[in-house]
Structure 1
Amino acid sequence: MKVTLLGLGLMGLPVAHRLIQRGHEVKAWNRSESRLQMAQSEGITVTGNLTDAVSDTEVILLTLSDAEAIGSVLFSDEVVSRLGGKTVLQMGTISPDQSRELADRVQQSGADYLEVPVLGSIPEAMSGELIVMAGGSEEVYHHCLLLLRGLGKEVDLVGGVGQAAAMKLAMNQLIAALTVGFAQSLGLIRAEGVEVEHFMKLLRESALYAPTFDKKLQKYLEHDYSKANFPLKHLIKDIGLFKQVAESSGMNGEVADATLSILNSGQQAGYGDEDYSALYEAINPGFDAETDIGC
């Protein structure tokens, strides 16, 4: 397929590489020149011109940060008049209502729309092991299935437009909840001088264990949150969306409020661009990597 990828952020670049590996003809666009130059140096065909990007393509794949960015690019004068007959795949994390609004506008422009948020990050994108959650019509889903299977080890049609977006927000809420819970428990273990490995051994043997605990453990022990595959600032955006959607559905938003407070404390402490596990520092302030007991 001829694919135009709009957005060369953390996920856009590895997704572009993966699609090329799978035999698709890819052209990428990005607002910032530096990311275009990086992609070009890695062998990806790029353009800084939106009209050129979308003119001769079958699929427009959006890997943009939020609904505002998506709207400003997709419905710009350069793009919107050229959507007819194309398929728009929307990969970003947005709310169900935002996705439904996008779908309506895309379809009014004569194009098909499928939301395809993913679970996983840069390593999974590079190896084609993302979990792809699709929302939209079965016809559009099956039309794009071969392309999506090149990106994901699991490609699941969740339901209509908005339902995959809801699934993605539910998953990201779990990312925050699990990370906050583990960071708090680990903080107590370290504060009391209990051996961390003793704690982990028992935890791994219990029904409470989640693999993400071991994936993030070394970051906590070393207080090193660099090389972020999913920055804290992005998780803040997603939990804010989850809170809005939950409250509009009549759910109690107090848990999301408390989580957001912790995440925002981490960002205020300078960890916004670091890995989201840096929320550990907001929960357990004052630990020093050299004097910390129980490691």
Structure 2
Amino acid sequence: MTSPHASVALIGTGLLGEAIGLRLLQQGITLHVWNRTPLRCRSLLDAGAQHVEDLASVPQTSDVIITVLRDGPTTARSVAALGDLAHHCLIPMGTMGIVEIRQLAEQTKQQGGQLLESPVLGSRPQAFAGTLLLMAGGEPSLFERHQPLLRHLSERPQLVGPVGSGAACKLGLNQLIASLTHAFSLSLRLIQQADVPVETFMDILRPSALYAPTFDKKLERMLDSHYDNPNFSTALLRKDLLLFLEEATAAELNPEGLSGLATLLCKAEGSALDGVDYCALHELTGSENSQ
């Protein structure tokens, strides 16, 4: 089934952006793409997307513009370069802070456009399958108008509240990614130090209320120290955890229990661990990194 949005512009064709773009093309959407590094558009162009040479001409191609960029400041700069956004809807899908997305909504309004934040949980496999978990923030009428497009990417897009609500949900979920992975890594190392067979431990864990599917998803990678071909990198996990800590502090919460994890992840900065799968934080929980 095709969407009433016959043409969509996509800004940002990294790991997730590329997968989102390929999914939209598969669903019959005419796609115009831009990336700071044009070579990263190659697979989408080969699949039928049209290349946009510069950001200023993006609004001329489509009334809906999806951004999948690294962070809030990068997104804000890219949106500023778009110029006049009258009669356009901006749909940011990357992870941003609550303050950042609200500022971007105001910026978009000043440029004449509307914004529907739509961060997603999931990575390339879920994007290809159209099963991303999408948490939208914005006006209900805007959400309803763009549901046909969002349903190409998510089986059940949810409007969670006004702008900022989606960012809060996404940061909360990504904090759990970091915390669960860290907790599992420590438990795994402890039982191995005590010579408990890993499968014995997993047989006890799996039927318990403590089990999370991500444990089995990452178990083999951790045991084999195999972190290549990431869908979500250590660097991005660190970025999102630090952003969560900023927002939690601003909300006058007490996130000090996460400070140690943030410090641990900062040890990976600039190292080979940064570009690989985020469960590589398992390499940081061993005794040689505990000083």
Take 1:226 and 1:154, find their aligned partners in 2: how far apart are those partners?
31
Q: Could you say which residue in structure 1 is the equivalent of 2:257? A: 255
Take 2:50 and 2:246, find their aligned partners in 1: how far apart are those partners?
38
Quick one: which amino acid aligns to residue 104 of structure 2?
L
Take 1:46 and 1:13, find their aligned partners in 2: how far apart are those partners?
13
Ranges in structure 2 where 5+ consecutive residues have no aligned partner: none
Cα shift at 1:41: 2.9
Matched position secondary structure for 1:229: coil
Asked if residue 24 in structure 1 is aligned to residue 26 in structure 2, the reply is no
Q: Could you say which residue in structure 1 is the equivalent of 2:68? A: 63
* Contact 1:7–1:63 under 8 Å retained in 2: yes
Quick one: which amino acid aligns to residue 80 of structure 1?
G
Take 1:285 and 1:131, find their aligned partners in 2: how far apart are those partners?
36
Asked if residue 4 in structure 1 is aligned to residue 9 in structure 2, the reply is yes
Q: Could you say which residue in structure 2 is the equivalent of 1:80? A: 83
Give per-residue Cα distances to partners, 1:258-282, cap 9 Å, x unaligned.
Answer: 1111111233553000100000010
Cα shift at 1:39: 2.8
Give per-residue Cα distances to partners, 1:137-187, cap 9 Å, x unaligned.
Answer: 001100110110110122100000001100100000001110010000001
Q: Could you say which residue in structure 2 is the equivalent of 1:229? A: 231
Identity of aligned residues (%): 37
Give per-residue Cα distances to partners, 1:36-69, cap 9 Å, x unaligned.
Answer: 2343234322223223332121100010111111
Q: Could you say which residue in structure 2 is the equivalent of 1:164? A: 166
Matched position secondary structure for 2:116: strand
Ranges in structure 1 where 5+ consecutive residues have no aligned partner: 288-295
Q: Could you say which residue in structure 2 is the equivalent of 1:242? A: 244
Take 1:164 and 1:269, find their aligned partners in 2: how far apart are those partners?
31
* Contact 2:25–2:48 under 8 Å retained in 1: no
- Summarize the alignment of residues 1-295 of structure 1 with structure 2, pairs less than 5 Å apart: 1=5, 2-76=7-81, 79-81=82-84, 83-267=85-269, 269-285=271-287
**Normalized against structure 2, the TM-score is what?**
0.94
Matched position secondary structure for 1:153: coil
Question: How many residues in Structure 1 have an aligned counterpart in Structure 2?
Answer: 284
Give per-residue Cα distances to partners, 1:14-48, cap 9 Å, x unaligned.
Answer: 10111112221111100102202343234322223
Take 1:89 and 1:269, find their aligned partners in 2: how far apart are those partners?
33
Take 1:47 and 1:101, find their aligned partners in 2: how far apart are those partners?
26
Take 1:244 and 1:256, find their aligned partners in 2: how far apart are those partners?
11
Superposed CA RMSD in Å reads 1.4
Matched position secondary structure for 1:154: coil
* Contact 1:36–1:47 under 8 Å retained in 2: no
Take 2:288 and 2:198, find their aligned partners in 1: how far apart are those partners?
18
Quick one: which amino acid aligns to residue 4 of structure 1?
A
Take 1:179 and 1:267, find their aligned partners in 2: how far apart are those partners?
18
Quick one: which amino acid aligns to residue 41 of structure 2?
L
